[in-house]
Structure 1
Amino acid sequence: MTLGRPTRLDGSERTDHLMSTLVGVVGVYRRLSQFSGRRRPPVRTVNRDLSLTVETIRPEADDVVSLRLANGGPLPAWRPGAHVDLVLPSGLTRQYSLCGDPADRSHYRIAVRKLGAASAEVHALTPGTRVTVRGPRTAFPFVGRGPFLFVAGGIGITPILPMVHHCADAGADWRLVYTGRSRESMPFLGELPDDDCVWIRPDTEYGVPASGAELLEGLPDGASVYCCGPVAMITGVRTDLALTTATAVHFERFAPPPIVAGAPFQLTLRRSGVVLEVPDDRTALDVLRETRPGTPYSCRQGFCGTCAVPTAGGGSMRVCVDRGTAVLDL
């Protein structure tokens, strides 16, 4: 559109003084935009990598160790529910919840249960080892005013622990149900508030794992539920929550989510022309790693972005969770 002599909205040729003013303002804005564009500095990439030293590593429960990570200065702030990406000397990357005190920025604390190759490498670290940490980031935000019900299973206590201490310090209305195979397998039991609000529920003392209904027993009306632990426990809680008055439900799992009602699809690797068949009960990542074992991944839940693979169309596919026929730029 060309801005010439302004006319009235009714189409007449009489000068519209309001439109004249608007044309002048637009012209000045264009000139200023061109000037500021020439002067604007280039956007710099933000480096979120922290080089930290393992200060201490100590056992917290059967097959669980905690690490204190620091660099001698104050670390980026975080809130309960946050996690970091830990890049190990081998190059493997995994997410671990921060389970220390958010007010103490002199170090980060994480806890790791020995389950696979990455966790075994963590357990083998020694004080003085340098590691790279990315973050903190929050995929399990702690929000709301309560009342709160926290449900933790085993190592799932790690993101829950700072939330519990926050509630205890703030005088909030809260309860914690902490379950696990046995007391010996449950980290940080000695750091929980000595309070009637805490129920420790080991399987060995009750004979069987807890059902979702049992874990939700005594749920306050209108409570927010925060649940972290193994898939079976989360599934039970989510199933039985439908019978409660909970107003908000928040989950974090330490295993890939189950595939529900999945459909088969194909992946084409553009550079080699190889076509991969992904069945209805497997992820693209699982199948892709059979052909390309070095395909990076971490959380397997779709939020960290480590497994994102560029597609031929210029987009990307998070192969741990995304499903659908695609041509990958590989």
Structure 2
Amino acid sequence: MKRSAPPLGAPLDDRATNIVVSLLERFWLSRVVRADYADERATRTPHDPMALVLTRREIVARDKDVVALTFSAPDGDVLPGWQPGGHLDLHLPSGRRRQYSLCGDPQDADRYRIAVRKIPAGGGGSLEMHDLRVGDTVTVRGPRNGFPFIPYERALYIAGGIGITPILPMVRAAQRLGADWHFVYCGRSAETIPFLDEIASWDPTRVTIRLDDEHGVPTADDLLGQAPAGGAVYVCGPPPMIETVRLNFDRSGAAALHFERFSAPPVRDGTPFEIELARTGDVLDVAADESVLDALVRHRPETAYSCRQGFCGTCRVAVLAGTPDHRENRLTAEERETSMLTCVSRSLTSRLVLDL
């Protein structure tokens, strides 16, 4: 996952992100949300689990493939505060772990809201989320924030499909702050994109909706045409959309780019290599255009993973021999000497021996 940084587009690790978010909370967040987080942070960290109850389930796309889920504490107590761009780690009954962006209102201190698109051919997490019913309990960690909202005076927000979930709270915050904003929302069709009812209540002069079945696949000009000179661009959506924005950002006139992926970044300039599973002796081929995790899941469908972007750590594995090509910013230098994240990192040697 990529976030705001210097240099432009470079990822922030968890420590840098925590520093950024702490400064944002101190100097401006009180203008956006009114909750006092100090007491909660003194007794709890985002790593500590919470058991939350599903209190509301709502279909938010016309094709019925996106469900908004609202979770609350069993006793109705106040929950740890969060900022626009934040997400939750959900530990599902099956043992799967998934991250979902918070798309509710930070001022609703007693509830968290997320939205999930059903992906029948995915890893099973979305289907399990869609099967949850009001009254079900799930274990949650967080909130965390790797995509922090910064209150620019002028900003363009771009979302593709379910990528709207972290963008929604950002646009609401920009509205409250009186910022000069514009929102570009893209999707396959009006049937598939969620939250159209809410967006219909926004200032129509600040909203552009582009649908593939009506307008074709958006071009760089379609996406960045409203980029403010000297301002910022936030984008979340499928990899092709993000790549279009990244590759054309320099000529947009905007000064800062922030983006978050909802799927793995494409492998570029990769070379094939092998992984050996030390506990079984199995040797697997990793193709030039796939991740170590892809090869592992093909061989062992039960392999644990979550974000596929190198930030959650679920797929971390010990490396017994070989030299990984680390392509994440979560692990420390010391941790990188003995382990890797299989979802994004590759190999500098022809074979890696993993403790699996």
- Corresponding residue of 2:22: none
Q: Is the 8 A contact 2:225 2:252 kept in 1?
A: no
Q: Are 2:130 and 1:126 equivalent residues in the alignment?
A: no
Q: Is the 8 A contact 1:182 1:202 kept in 2?
A: yes
- Corresponding residue of 1:13: none
Farther off after superposition, 189-198 or 53-62: 189-198
Q: Is the 8 A contact 1:99 1:158 kept in 2?
A: yes
- Corresponding residue of 1:283: 291
CA RMSD of aligned residues (A): 1.8
Displacement of 1:45: 9.5
Matches within 5 A, 1:76-95: 76-95=80-99
- Corresponding residue of 1:60: 60
| 2:222 match: secondary structure | helix
| 2:228 match: secondary structure | coil
- Corresponding residue of 1:33: none
Distance 1:120 1:201 in 2: 28
| 1:311 match: secondary structure | strand
The one-letter code sitting in structure 1 at the alignment partner of 2:160 is: G
The one-letter code sitting in structure 1 at the alignment partner of 2:69 is: L
Q: Is the 8 A contact 1:152 1:177 kept in 2?
A: yes
- Corresponding residue of 1:218: 226
| 1:242 match: secondary structure | helix
| 2:346 match: secondary structure | coil
Distance 1:47 1:97 in 2: 16
Distance 2:51 2:269 in 1: 42
Q: What is the number of equivalent residue pairs in this alignment? A: 286
Q: Are 2:349 and 1:323 equivalent residues in the alignment?
A: no
Q: Are 2:103 and 1:99 equivalent residues in the alignment?
A: yes
Q: Are 2:181 and 1:174 equivalent residues in the alignment?
A: yes
Farther off after superposition, 113-122 or 184-193: 184-193
The one-letter code sitting in structure 2 at the alignment partner of 1:236 is: T
Distance 1:288 1:310 in 2: 14
Distance 1:227 1:151 in 2: 5
- Give CA-to-partner distance per residue, 1:230-270, whole Å, 9 cap, x none: 12222222222132222111111211111110122222222
- Corresponding residue of 2:165: 158
Farther off after superposition, 96-105 or 229-238: 229-238
Q: Is the 8 A contact 2:233 2:254 kept in 1?
A: yes
- Give CA-to-partner distance per residue, 1:265-290, whole Å, 9 cap, x none: 22222223333221211110111223
| 2:295 match: secondary structure | helix
Change (3 A) 1:45 1:315: farther
Distance 2:289 2:208 in 1: 37
TM-score w.r.t. the length of structure 1 is 0.82
- Structure 1 unaligned runs (5+)? 1-43
- Structure 2 unaligned runs (5+)? 1-43, 322-336
Q: Which residue, out of 43, 68, 71, partners 1:69?
A: 71
Q: Is the 8 A contact 1:69 1:108 kept in 2?
A: yes
Q: Is the 8 A contact 2:182 2:226 kept in 1?
A: no
Change (3 A) 1:167 1:310: same
- Give CA-to-partner distance per residue, 1:134-188, whole Å, 9 cap, x none: 1111121112523111001111110000000000001012111111122222211
Distance 1:127 1:194 in 2: 30
Farther off after superposition, 117-126 or 107-116: 117-126
- Give CA-to-partner distance per residue, 1:58-115, whole Å, 9 cap, x none: 1000211100101121111110001111111111111110000011110100000111
Distance 2:253 2:54 in 1: 44
- Give CA-to-partner distance per residue, 1:193-231, whole Å, 9 cap, x none: 52121112222332x121122111132101211001112
Distance 1:279 1:203 in 2: 32
Q: Is the 8 A contact 2:156 2:226 kept in 1?
A: no
Q: Are 2:148 and 1:141 equivalent residues in the alignment?
A: yes
Distance 1:259 1:46 in 2: 31
Q: Is the 8 A contact 1:144 1:224 kept in 2?
A: no
Distance 2:273 2:213 in 1: 43
Distance 1:205 1:54 in 2: 37
Q: Is the 8 A contact 2:46 2:142 kept in 1?
A: no
Q: Is the 8 A contact 1:231 1:255 kept in 2?
A: yes
Distance 2:91 2:293 in 1: 20
Distance 2:212 2:283 in 1: 46
| 1:225 match: secondary structure | strand
Distance 1:144 1:262 in 2: 38
Q: Are 2:240 and 1:232 equivalent residues in the alignment?
A: yes
Q: Are 2:319 and 1:311 equivalent residues in the alignment?
A: yes
